[in-house]
Structure 1
Amino acid sequence: MKPKISIITIGVDDLERAFVFYRALFDIADEQIGAGEDHVAFFFEDDFSFVLFPREQIAQTAGKPESLEGTPGFVLSHRAETPAEVDAILEKVLIAGGAVITAGTETEWGYSAYFEDSEGNVWELMAMPAAN
């Protein structure tokens, strides 16, 4: 895998407060901001996104209870070209001593999987859906 970090998602305790902070910090047009009930995404050049996500939901994504020491406060996302590449990377993760948290699954955002490295840091692998 030649990592291309496409998205950095950070855990926040107060989504509104974090949004106000990063909105003031980033020099970004309103059209480059997307929000839902549980997240705010800032879309930058070169297919890079910075996402705010509730910390307790990052713990759930990582398959860990929030109170467990070592629960990550962020997720790194790598964009793969195809679902097959996502699955091939997961095989390498296991061989290298990591753990698969969520196997490759079709979602509304494409095909994605989650794994943790040997130190418990969480990565998302994703392949975007084919354009219609």
Structure 2
Amino acid sequence: MKPRINIVTIGVDNLERAFSFYRALFDMPDDQIGAGADHVAFFLTEDFSFVLFPRELIAQTAGKETVIAGTPGLVLSHRADSAAEVDAILDQVLIAGGAIITPGTESEWGYSAYFEDSEGNVWELMATPQVN
């Protein structure tokens, strides 16, 4: 895997409060901010986003039942060129001693998977559909 960190997602306890804080701090125009029911994304550059996501949902993403000590508060995301590349990286993860949390899965956002490194840090791999 040639590492590219395209998205940094941090866990927050209060999405609205965190959004207000980062909106004021970053002072970004509305067209560089995207929001959904469960997240807010700040599009810092064409290839890099900073995302706020509820901590309990990060816990679920990481395969934890509840937010407990050791639950990640951060997810690093790598954008792969294809679903095949996502799967190839997952193979490398296992060889290197990591663990797959969620195997490659199709969704409305494209093809993605989650893994943890040898220390329990969570990564997302994603291949987004090509826009014509």
TM-score by length of 1: 0.96
Identity of aligned residues (%): 77
Tell me which residue corresponds to 1:81: 81
Off by >3 Å, runs of 4+ in structure 1? none
Distance 1:71 1:113 in 2: 18
For 1:124, the aligned partner's letter is: E
Once the two structures are superposed, residues 23-44 of structure 1 have per-residue CA deviations (whole angstroms, 9 ceiling, x without a partner) of 0000311111111111111012
- In structure 1, the gaps of 5 or more residues are none
SS in 2 for 1:5: coil
Q: Measure how far apart 1:131 and its partner are.
A: 2.4
Aligned pairs for 1:1-132 (under 5 A) are 1-132=1-132
Distance 2:112 2:60 in 1: 16
Distance 1:30 1:59 in 2: 29
Distance 1:68 1:92 in 2: 29
Distance 1:17 1:69 in 2: 22
Contact 1:65 1:71 in 2 (8 A): no
- In structure 2, the gaps of 5 or more residues are none
TM-score by length of 2: 0.96
